[in-house]
Amino acid sequence: MGKIIDITVPFSTDLPLWPGDPAPSMDYMKCMAGGYRCNVTRLETGVHFGTHLDAPCHFIEGKKGVDELDLNVLVGTCTLIEIPDVQKIEVVDLEACNIKKGTERLLIKTYNSHYWSQPAHEFRKDYSAITADAAAWMVDFGIKLIGIDYLSIQLFDDQVSTTHLVLLDAEVIIVEALDLRFAEPGNYRLTCLPMKLVGADGAPVRALIEKE
Amino acid sequence: MGKIIDITVPFSTDLPLWPGDPAPSMDYMKCMAGGYRCNVTRLETGVHFGTHLDAPCHFIEGKKGVDELDLNVLVGTCTLIEIPDVQKIEVVDLEACNIKKGTERLLIKTYNSHYWSQPAHEFRKDYSAITADAAAWMVDFGIKLIGIDYLSIQLFDDQVSTTHLVLLDAEVIIVEALDLRFAEPGNYRLTCLPMKLVGADGAPVRALIEKE
């Protein structure tokens, strides 16, 4: 296979934080400077911070957790489309991309990716995301995994969370805060591996694409 | 490629804890039962808990952190060998496996893997691991990634940590606490993806093997 492109934002505690969420922390629980034989970092974070995925139980009680997600969906051929200058991604924007029938994994590159050229920026509310209608269109199309390049698949002012509910009810895996700056539209093999957190509503992921 | 075998131990807070380390925790920072629109888990853990890898700066100040590890080492062909009934793995045990010249990624299946049939067991000190001489042999052989099926690549009573030092000084990536119960000896494609923790000495990983 081709060159690996890492589409994961490096995890540091100064990445943008969802408004109101407690800040993450990373510090040493043991360190050589303190007389220990080795350095051991301790990490404290919400599981939807940085590049991560949402499991169905994020919005729907009793649905699947991260550890139950199908690896055969998390790994496989994906299509990357670019919708560069639209904030509110509608059905018409998706239709204009002529996505090939049978596509199961879709990554959407928007202007959001540029935000990651300064990873430590303040949270932006004007990010690009998809409407509830576009979410329903994806479910009908047969999409099983959808990735986007900012912290939520739904618009910031979507106060009823219909976009999340439509996707998660259909068990579509949602991957958020991807850095797609260095990926051109086309087909790739996606490998999107979350921490195997038992029963959790989300998890940090490491996500790669490679030309097949 | 063939069927994916997940060699990651599911992450829950009742996995064995390295003696003396603080316990991890997973709880809700928001939950639907508490009136929120969604569930959001907060995770607190040492980065060497559960299935994880060690970066060179775990034992050697100033060396590479997790985010600097080469994805072309973390992904690629690996050889899985089985050494089922030896606690202290020596050079002679490795030589007996007739590992093919040119092998860069090596996974060692030992009796440790059986411990994962009860993931929530108490920490065992009698786990199988490699001696410092065996570590030096691996470096000479050209191994770039070594995986084993309990929480440390070095024996519990190795108080000077030579095994870790030899491997990490040569920038060999060490993957620990793999569950190899369902993997037979042979060659596979390994995908071992850590959280992209900036500068960290270790990270949780999700690790898969597939028959090529």
B195:A204 CB<8 A: yes
In a domain, residue A21? The reply is no
Complex ipTM tops 0.90: yes
The pLDDT, as a whole number, for residue B155 is 97
The pLDDT, as a whole number, for residue A160 is 82
The pLDDT, as a whole number, for residue B121 is 97
CA-CA distance, A104 to A137, in Å (whole number)?
A: 13
**pLDDT tens, A148-200?**
999 999 999 987 889 999 999 999 999 999 999 999 999 999 999 999 999 99
Give A32's contacts in chain B (Cβ within 8 Å). 61
The pLDDT, as a whole number, for residue B212 is 84
Which residue in B11, B57, B193 is closest to A39 by CB distance? B57
Q: DSSP string of chain B? A: ---EEE-BPPB-TTS---TTPPPPEEEEEE-GGGT-SS-EEEEEEETTSSSEEE-GGGTSTTS--GGGS-HHHHEEEEEEEE-TT-SEE-HHHHHTT-PPTT--EEEEE-THHHHTTSTTPPP-S---EE-HHHHHHHHHHT--EEEESSS-SB-TT-TT-HHHHHHHHTT-EEEESB--TT--SEEEEEEEEE--BTT-SEEEEEEEEE--
In a domain, residue A70? The reply is yes
In a domain, residue B26? The reply is no
In a domain, residue B137? The reply is yes
As a whole-number percent, the residues of chain A with pLDDT over 90 amount to 96
In a domain, residue B21? The reply is no
The total number of structural domains in chain A stands at 1
In a domain, residue A35? The reply is no
Parallel, antiparallel, or unpaired for β A88-89 and A105-109?
unpaired
Interface check for B165 against chain A (CB to CB < 8 A): the answer is no
The alpha-carbon gap from B96 to the nearest alpha carbon of chain A, in Å, equals 32
In a domain, residue A43? The reply is no
B40:A61 CB<8 A: no
Domain that holds residue A55: 4-16+48-210
Parallel, antiparallel, or unpaired for β B129-130 and A129-130?
unpaired
Parallel, antiparallel, or unpaired for β A129-130 and A88-89?
parallel
Q: Please pick, among A48, A58, A114, A164, the residue that the annotation labels catalytic.
A: A58
In a domain, residue B32? The reply is no
- Tell me the average confidence (pLDDT) per consecutive run of 10 residues in chain B, 212 residues long: 93 96 96 96 98 98 97 98 98 98 98 98 98 98 98 92 96 98 98 98 98 88
CATH number at residue B147: 3.50.30.50
Q: Please pick, among B48, B52, B58, B164, the residue that the annotation labels catalytic.
A: B58
The pLDDT, as a whole number, for residue A212 is 84
**pLDDT tens, A63-120?**
999 999 999 999 999 999 999 999 999 999 999 999 999 999 999 999 999 999 999 9
Give A48's contacts in chain B (Cβ within 8 Å). 40
Tell me if residue A58 is catalytic. yes
